[in-house]
Amino acid sequence: MADRKSEKRAVMTQLAVSSRVVRTALSARLAAQGLYPGQDALLLMLGEEDGLALRDLALRLAVRPPTITKTIARLAAQGFVEKRASASDARQSFVHLTAEGRALVEEVRLAQHETERQAMRGLKGKDRKALRKLLAKVERNFAPDTASAHDDGASDEA
Q: Is the model's pLDDT at 154 over the cut of 80?
A: no
Mean pLDDT across the stretch 2-26? 84
27-31-34-39 Cα dihedral, nearest 10 degrees: 0
Looking at the DSSP bridge assignments, the partners of residue 85 are 93
pTM for the whole thing? 0.75
What digits encode the pLDDT tens for the residues 104-151? 999 999 999 999 999 999 999 999 999 999 999 999 999 887 555 545
What is the b/e burial string over 119-140, where b = at least 16 CB atoms within 10 angstroms of the residue's CB? eeeeeeeeeeeeeeeeeeeeee
Grade residue 5 by pLDDT with cuts at 50, 70 and 90.
Answer: low
Query: In the CATH hierarchy, which top-level class contains the domain 10-131?
Result: mainly alpha
Annotated domain spans of the chain = 10-131
